[in-house]
């Protein structure tokens, strides 16, 4: 069977995406170099404090003791693992990227690293437009306060994982867990399935909701598109996103009342990405 002819726009898009992903990968190198070669490493080492616990849409301040350097290194490892998972998933990054050069329509869901630059660019442009519009209308969005550089660096490293756990993975993931376990319960197979099987289903539901729904025979985004999102999941998506945006404005961290709108819309996008691709995808999108 002959291959589909190559597309010039597809080739250009492929090159652009590859360059963007290279900058993502290069950011790991820059971070390590900055910690080793500058005062950032020693500043982080001397930074100690307590971090908030974010879970099920609740933020509990001052619960988790942490050292700045240990926090950054641990979370950079999490980002690296998410990046590795993204590169391997859905047929792999290289194969999915090569598919863009063809004129034929893709028949499978593209790899997340192929999609992420497009979504992140759209969210960036949307945020800039909303910020300018809101500020011009007299609804200040605000800015991140100019704290100690080490504190700021540790904070922006901590936020993607903590906020995704608190506002997407635990609340929305819990609904998926319940929905994927219900078929076992209704078939009276929950007890006979065994502890390991049930725990595996729970873990998959939290990490990769769409795959968990497919395995349970439920409609998923991969098989049904938007109809693969259950109405209960939609309620949590909208509700958690609105709360996510509102908390930014109420945080007292330099953000104004206008921040609730772009943060809420970004939260909605992150929630949909979580349901579609999984936890690694929304964490990476939030970080980058």
The whole-angstrom separation of Cα 206 and Cα 185 is 19
Percent of the chain with pLDDT strictly greater than 90: 53
Instruction: State the pLDDT at residue 65.
Output: 93
Q: Which has the minimum average pLDDT: 49-53, 82-86, 108-112, 127-131?
A: 108-112
CA 221 to CA 236: how far, in whole Å?
16
Q: Is the pLDDT of residue 1 over 50?
A: no
Structure confidence by residue, pLDDT tens digits, 224-248: 999 999 999 999 999 999 999 999 8
pTM: 0.89
DSSP state of 139: -
Ramachandran category for residue 50: left, alpha or beta (phi over 0 → left; psi -120 to 50 → alpha): beta
pLDDT at 95: 87
Question: Span 67-83, mean pLDDT?
Answer: 93
Mean pLDDT, the chain, whole residue set: 88
Q: Is the pLDDT of residue 4 over 60?
A: no
Cα distance between residue 155 and residue 122, in whole Å: 24
pLDDT digits (tens, 9 = 90+) for 135-153: 999 999 888 776 788 888 8
Distance from first CA to last CA of the chain, Å, rounded? 40
154-168, 188-202, 230-244 — which is least confidently predicted?
188-202
* Count of residues in the chain: 288
């Amino acid at each position: 069977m002959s291959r589909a002819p190559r597309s010039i726009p597809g080739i250009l898009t492929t090159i652009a995406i590859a360059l963007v992903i290279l900058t993502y990968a290069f950011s790991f190198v820059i971070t390590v170099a900055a910690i080793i070669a500058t005062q950032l490493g020693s500043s982080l080492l001397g930074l100690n404090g307590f971090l908030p616990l974010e879970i099920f849409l609740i933020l509990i301040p001052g619960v988790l003791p942490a050292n700045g350097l240990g926090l950054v290194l641990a979370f950079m490892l999490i980002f690296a693992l998410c990046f590795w998972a993204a590169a391997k998933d859905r047929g792999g990054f290289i194969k999915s990227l090569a598919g863009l050069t063809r004129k034929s329509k893709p028949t499978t869901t593209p790899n997340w690293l192929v999609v992420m630059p497009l979504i992140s660019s759209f969210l960036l442009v949307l945020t800039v437009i909303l910020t300018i519009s809101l500020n011009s209308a007299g609804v200040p969005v605000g800015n991140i306060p100019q704290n100690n550089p080490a504190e700021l660096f540790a904070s922006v490293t901590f936020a993607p994982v903590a906020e995704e756990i608190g506002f997407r993975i635990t609340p929305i993931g819990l609904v998926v867990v319940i929905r994927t376990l219900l078929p076992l319960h209704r078939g009276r197979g929950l007890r006979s399935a065994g502890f390991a099987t049930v725990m595996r289903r729970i873990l998959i539901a939290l990490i990769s909701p769409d795959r968990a729904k497919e395995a349970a025979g439920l409609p998923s985004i991969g098989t049904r598109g938007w109809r693969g999102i259950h109405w209960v999941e939609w309620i949590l998506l909208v509700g958690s996103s609105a709360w996510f945006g509102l908390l930014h404005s109420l945080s007292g961290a330099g953000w104004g009342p206008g921040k609730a709108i772009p943060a809420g819309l970004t939260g909605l996008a992150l929630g949909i990405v979580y349901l579609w691709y999984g936890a690694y995808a929304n964490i990476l999108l939030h970080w980058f």
